[in-house]
């Protein structure tokens, strides 16, 4: 529990609000520093398209879901806006989006989560342009003639901006903020050359992330085309079908999802593609943290720790750190570059069976028991090719998720994963695909570095203009 003594005038300044939100977030300190700094300032609404109307959300409305891309628009929830890969977004009816265009978001809009976990942000990049987005996400639309979108985003995402945004949170169970809570926030105006430099870094960050996802998509398509696999085996993860299975297979597994038509089709496709050797036979191994007591400590004395949900974010920024002295040898728990981090728990159609390529940011980090570390660095198959097959083709993905067992919360086991058969391509082709995945990882890591640099430039400019006490 945090306790804080505040001046009585803060209460009157905040309209006599007695909830802790405006006072415990650091918003008052940030507001004071912004007020006292010598930089000129403008209200946020003065920098937006249509001023006060430049911050809004879509409004509540029941969603009409569709299965086919021909009839649907990719839909981003409040979690999706901060995810690295947008390849498996659900589809909302194009007809509904046309009728209610407020659903749509566009490049260079600032997206801020406004319900539940408040204040997560991103600057919409090229691959998000034209997508639909939840009413739980606030749209802030910069007027590019008045301010560079990248600069405004970095300010709002800075250590000064975030506390100001979240300070107006209200609600006891599910917390919210509204557009009118943010439109009057003060925005420092920096030198134009600095503003342009900041925007350029953020713009390149978005380009990198879009290119990284494009490379992964291309890598998957190369494998799909090589074996003449269908791009999609089914329109939905929850298709109601009936099928028959041999007594031999039924003796092995009796759950219906293991024997449905889609699962059987994926088996047939793997066989037709020449997949005879299992991952284990190819020398692929797995690592698991195992269930243990999690002892957290300060970042200086700990190891970055991420859950199965956190590893998918565009920004890898662990908030918790495990006490290193309690973990044992790093080979038992540490992530290595080029590991495939596989979410092993959750509902089919959710994160279970999806994975992340471990780039340089993940080196020697720890992950939760709900993540399997698949290791192919010393195997007969290149790690990037294995990742592209399992994560970027529908056949590989379907092979993975069919092995999930459990009724309430399905799980994947390492043993079942290692029993999967891998179709092989030529050495040259495999290397090409591997290098595409590696490049995607490098771009993702560089994107985060650029964004961090841009935010730091904004924070340094504000602090340099603040009075010295």
Read off the tokens for 283.
């020398």
* pTM, entire model: 0.89
- Tens-digit pLDDT profile for residues 73-90: 999 999 999 999 998 899
Which pLDDT score is estimated for 1?
43
d(CA 201, CA 127): 17
C-alpha dihedral, 313 to 319 to 323 to 329, nearest 10° = 10
Range scoring the smallest mean pLDDT among 13-17, 214-218, 373-377: 13-17
234: number of Cβ within 10 Å: 17
409: number of Cβ within 10 Å: 11
Residue with tokens 């290595």: 336
Report strand pairing: 91-93 vs 121-123. Answer: unpaired
- Indicate whether 216 pLDDT > 50: yes
- Indicate whether 12 pLDDT > 60: no
Domain with CATH 3.90.220.20 in the chain: 8-189, 217-432
Sheet hosting strand 340-343, strand order edge to edge: 285-287, 371-375, 340-343, 355-357
Read off the tokens for 390.
């399992």
Which pLDDT score is estimated for 292?
64
381: number of Cβ within 10 Å: 18
Name every residue whose Cβ is closer than 8 Å to that of residue 79 and which is 6 or more positions away in sequence: 309
Cα 207 to Cα 202, 254, 435, 447, distances in angstroms: 9, 47, 19, 8
Which pLDDT score is estimated for 229?
95
pLDDT tier for residue 17 given thresholds of 50, 70 and 90: low
- Indicate whether 289 pLDDT > 90: no
- Indicate whether 107 pLDDT > 90: yes
Which pLDDT score is estimated for 290?
65
Range scoring the smallest mean pLDDT among 22-36, 40-54, 177-191, 317-331: 22-36
Q: Please give the average per-residue pLDDT across 22-42, as a whole number.
A: 83
DSSP notation for 45-91: GGGBTTGGGGEE--------EESSGGGEEEEE-TTGGGBS--TT--E
Read off the tokens for 353.
């069976």
- Indicate whether 151 pLDDT > 60: yes
Which pLDDT score is estimated for 449?
98
CATH of 8-189, one of 2.60.40.10, 3.90.220.20, 3.40.50.20, 3.30.1490.20: 3.90.220.20
- Indicate whether 405 pLDDT > 80: no
Name every residue whose Cβ is closer than 8 Å to that of residue 331 and which is 6 or more positions away in sequence: none
In the chain, the percentage of residues whose pLDDT exceeds 90 is 65
Read off the tokens for 240.
């109601």
d(CA 324, CA 337): 19
Q: Taking the alpha carbons of 330, 335, 339, 341 in that order, is the dihedral positive or negative?
A: positive
d(CA 181, CA 43): 12
List the CATH code of the domain at 217-432.
Answer: 3.90.220.20
């Amino acid at each position: 529990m945090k306790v804080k003594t505040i001046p009585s005038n803060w209460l009157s300044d905040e309209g006599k609000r007695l909830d802790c939100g405006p006072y415990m977030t650091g918003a008052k300190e940030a507001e004071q520093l912004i007020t006292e700094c010598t930089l000129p300032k403008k209200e946020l609404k003065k920098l937006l398209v249509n001023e006060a109307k430049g911050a809004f959300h879509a409004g509540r409305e029941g969603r009409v879901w569709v299965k086919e891309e021909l009839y649907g628009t990719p839909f981003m929830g409040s979690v999706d806006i901060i995810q690295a890969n947008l390849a498996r977004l659900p589809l909302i009816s194009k007809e509904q989006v046309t009728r209610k265009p407020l659903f749509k978001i566009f490049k260079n809009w600032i997206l801020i989560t406004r319900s539940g976990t408040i204040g997560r942000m991103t600057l919409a990049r090229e691959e998000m342009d034209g997508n639909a987005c939840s009413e739980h996400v606030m749209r802030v639309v910069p007027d590019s003639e008045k301010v560079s979108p990248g600069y405004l985003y970095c300010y709002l995402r800075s250590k000064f901006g975030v506390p100001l945004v979240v300070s107006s949170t209200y609600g006891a169970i599910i917390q919210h903020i509204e557009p009118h809570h943010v439109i009057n926030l003060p925005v420092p105006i920096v030198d134009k050359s600095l503003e342009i430099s900041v925007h350029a870094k953020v713009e390149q960050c978005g380009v990198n992330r879009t290119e990284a996802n494009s490379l992964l998509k291309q890598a998957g398509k190369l494998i799909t085309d090589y074996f003449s696999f269908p791009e999609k085996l089914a329109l939905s993860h929850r298709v109601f079908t009936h099928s028959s299975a041999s007594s031999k297979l039924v003796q092995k597994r009796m759950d219906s999802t293991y024997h449905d038509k889609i699962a059987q089709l994926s088996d047939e496709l793997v066989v037709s593609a020449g997949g005879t050797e299992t991952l284990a036979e190819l020398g692929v191994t797995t690592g698991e943290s195992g269930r243990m007591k999690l002892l957290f400590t300060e970042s200086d004395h700990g190891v970055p720790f991420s859950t199965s949900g956190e590893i998918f974010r565009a920004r890898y920024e662990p908030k918790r750190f495990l006490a290193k002295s309690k973990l044992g040898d790093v080979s038992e728990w540490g992530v290595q570059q080029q590991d495939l981090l596989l979410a092993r728990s959750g509902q089919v159609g959710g994160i279970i069976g999806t994975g992340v390529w471990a780039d340089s940011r993940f080196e020697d980090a720890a992950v939760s028991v709900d993540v399997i570390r698949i290791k192919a660095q010393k195997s007969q198959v290149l790690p990037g090719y294995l990742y592209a097959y399992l994560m970027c083709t529908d056949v590989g993905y379907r092979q993975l998720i069919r092995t999930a067992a459990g009724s309430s919360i399905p799980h994947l086991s390492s043993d079942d994963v290692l029993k999967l058969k891998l179709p092989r391509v030529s050495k040259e082709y495999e290397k090409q695909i591997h290098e595409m995945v590696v490049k995607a990882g490098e771009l993702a890591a560089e994107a985060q570095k650029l964004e961090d640099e841009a935010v730091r430039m904004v924070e340094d400019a504000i602090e340099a203009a603040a009075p010295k006490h």
